Chain A
Amino acid sequence: MRPDPVERIDARAVTVWRLTGFVEALVAAVVAGVAFGLGASGIAPRWVVLAVAGAALASALLSVVIVPRVRWLRWRYEVSESEVYLLFGLIIRKRTLIPMTRVQHVDTKAGPLLRAFGLSTVTVATAAGEHEIPALADEVADRLRDRISTLARVTEDVV
């Protein structure tokens, strides 16, 4: 059995994901608010209101408190001379292996939110789609991008 990848992504990823999760929680709060409104005006029965409010609270708790943390805990990557190896997934665990010889190009990218935290995402492209390593510190991401790019160049390229 091949050893699991060891590198973690940046811990600030948790904060970023909490922020995006917070937006989702706001949507849930609106839904809960509508449910309470309907309950107060007597349109929806009491148990429906409680169920909706409970679901909204649970989803908010999940998307802000639990999911970002566990998602970060479960993300691992490793770049060796011959391959890029990823292991991630909250419930569905997914291992992805990209042979270095198949890498066509490597990019880093960062949206406004990631930039505010000094983070970038590394994208590894092959002839059959792209793979991402999310939320690495800018310096780490730049180094990783250059390293993969160098490694991918020296190996013989086969489409």
Chain B
Amino acid sequence: MWSEPHRAHPAGVIVYSSKFIGVLAAPLFIAFSLVSSGDDVRVLASGVLVFAGIILGTVGAIGLAWAEWYRFTFQIKDRTLRVEHGLIVRKSTRLSPERIQSVDTRANLLFRILGLVTVDVHTAGRGQAPEVSIPALTEQDARSLIAEIKAVSPSPDPAVAVRVEGEASPSNHEESSQEQQIGPVWTPTTGDIFLVGATSSAGVIAFAAVMPVVFALVPIVVGESAVARSFPAGSTVFFMLLAVAFLVMALFSWAAGTVSSVLMYWDFVTARRGDEIRVERGLLQRETRSVPLARIQAVRLIEGPLRQMLGRVSVAVDAAGIAAASAQQVGPTILHPLLRRPEARRFVELMTPGHRIARLSPLPPQARRRYIIRTAAFPLVVALATSFAVPLGWLALILPIAAGAWGLFVYSDAAWGVVSDALAIRYRQVARTTVLVRRQRIQSVAVSQHPLQRIAGLGTLVVRVASSPQPATFRLPHMAYEDALGVLAWVGGGVDRATPEPSETL
């Protein structure tokens, strides 16, 4: 049905008109300058001029948007997506199915109400911006168009094709209908989505952003008021008021963060169809992203401290050569925001075949000291300086002790493992992250050793993986040197295969 040239849905004019806001400004500017220049121009005349300017600008903007919409046509002919577009610079784009990496859709609130979507066609090497963006299509048309693009696409190039090792067996009840290749589907419950919001870091970020502004504004607003006079700075009530204000701000930020996360993750659906994963999400702004399995470079299981306490994991993937995740989300694409930990294993094996959660080995005992020193050293120096300089400064020694305890915690979480063809590295920054990388996806591996590590027989493993928009580097400091060299040899395909004694599972 797409073999004839088609135009986008007329609502595309709305999408384009935002581009021509500048056109609106020009006549207005002229009108204003005419009004202000003439001395004897009457008020009425100036009003008419400005009004005319607005009308002219709006008509101009809509007219140009309409022209651009009118000019944009697309069709699928000879297996190729042909697009004629561009108002001033006329462009004619031909996209062979081999070049198309993924087709995503998005819809803002207006489009959601109208049942329309914007379709973005991504190719490799264009980074963030889609190669072609069809401004508006009905949801039904979009589905049919995407199906058509899929239909003309060749089966994946064997050189690029993913080696599907852990493919779910056909007997699996979630694997049905060979025709459509509908694979496993996951959706978090509404309660879980609220949990995602409540445990998200968005609130913390909002709080950090708002606090300095509040601290700057409070003296100006409260400064000379009755409140400030009756409760002078330093009084008990002043501190209580301050504490209450702080608490209210914190609660408010947390609520705002929760709401924004809930809106973003609303009605989250992860589905694998054959050789790609589709992720749908969002209430006001709804997005559909597809990640071809062949593009996946690494899988990350992320456990923020709060979520870890609740036994929940979020799963994200690093993918190469596909469009980066949306503006709100930088870095790896989230496949699921909140899985129960036992569920994560099945999710990873079904959604991203070939990736397994390996049995993990902890780091050797001699690494413990290095982790504690690493986090505690700087706070210790600061605390020592403070305790000499300030009376009661020795209280600052709590800081290095807390930092050391955190270092011990980070040490106990650090682990690694190799299973069949995949490497697993677990480390903690704030969130505990377990990275799964298949051997053929490792771009380079390095092992470094400084003199102190040499004495202790330790080394730092560094694994580099391609990812969009930037390559990812995963580090595991203070592995046993022999083990690190074992991983190096394993990546090189050497005989010295690293097989640690399994002692712990995720």
Contact = CB atoms under 8 A, between A and B. Distances in A.
A99 B449 contact: no
A96 B445 contact: yes
Interface string A1-22: 1100000000000000000000
Contacts of B447: 94-95
Contact of B446 (A83, A95, A127, A158): A95
B250 to A, nearest CB: 40
Interface in B443-464: 443-451, 454, 464
Given A82-B492, A128-B472, A89 B466 contact: no
B354 to A, nearest CB: 12
A133 B18 CA distance: 51
Given A85-B492, A158-B160, A99 B471 contact: no
B101 to A, nearest CB: 11
B493 interface: yes
Contacts of A128: 443-444, 464-467, 471-473
A148 B445 CA distance: 18
Given A83-B492, A128-B466, A128-B471, A102 B443 contact: yes
Interface string B149-170: 0000000000110000000000
Contacts of A91: 450-451
Contacts of A129: 443-444, 464, 471
A126 B320 CA distance: 12
Contacts, number: 87
Contact of B488 (A2, A89, A126): A2
A92 interface: yes
Nearest to A158: B440
B489 interface: yes
Contact of B442 (A85, A102, A157): A102
B440 A97 contact: no
A94 to B, nearest CB: 4
A93 to B, nearest CB: 5
Contacts of A89: 448
Contacts of A97: 444-446, 488, 491-492
Interface of B is mostly: mixed
A159 B444 contact: no
Given A97-B488, A158-B160, A92 B464 contact: no
A127 B464 CA distance: 9
A99 B438 CA distance: 13
A96 B491 CA distance: 11
Interface in A29-57: none
Contact of A99 (B320, B442, B448, B466): B442
Contacts of B441: 158
Contacts of A156: 159
Contacts of B160: 158-159
A127 B152 CA distance: 29
Contacts of B494: 2
B159 A158 contact: yes
A76 interface: no
Interface in B373-397: none
A92 to B, nearest CB: 5
Contacts of B448: 89, 92-95
Contacts of A94: 446-449
A137 to B, nearest CB: 25
Given A1-B496, A2-B492, A128-B464, A96 B320 contact: no
A94 B449 CA distance: 6
A157 B491 CA distance: 16
Given A82-B493, A129-B471, A98 B443 contact: yes
B321 A159 contact: yes
Contacts of A126: 443-444, 464, 466
A93 B459 CA distance: 9
B295 interface: yes
With a 10 A CB-CB cut-off, give which of A91, A93, A102, A128 has the most chain B CB atoms. Answer: A128
Interface in A52-109: 82-83, 85, 89, 91-99, 101-102
Interface string B463-499: 0111100011100000000100100110111101000
Contacts of B488: 2, 95, 97
B164 to A, nearest CB: 14
A155 to B, nearest CB: 10
B321 A98 contact: no
A92 B446 contact: no
The CB with the most chain B CB atoms within 10 A, among A82, A92, A97, A156, is that of A97
A124 to B, nearest CB: 9
Given A2-B492, A98-B443, 15 more contacts: A82-B493, A85-B492, A93-B449, A93-B454, A95-B447, A97-B491, A102-B444, A126-B466, A127-B443, A128-B464, A128-B466, A128-B472, A129-B464, A129-B471, A159-B295
17 contacts: A1-B485, A1-B496, A83-B492, A92-B449, A93-B454, A98-B443, A99-B491, A99-B493, A102-B443, A102-B444, A127-B443, A127-B466, A128-B444, A128-B473, A157-B159, A158-B441, A159-B320
Top 9 closest A-B pairs, CB basis? A128-B471, A127-B466, A128-B443, A128-B464, A126-B443, A94-B448, A96-B446, A98-B444, A92-B450
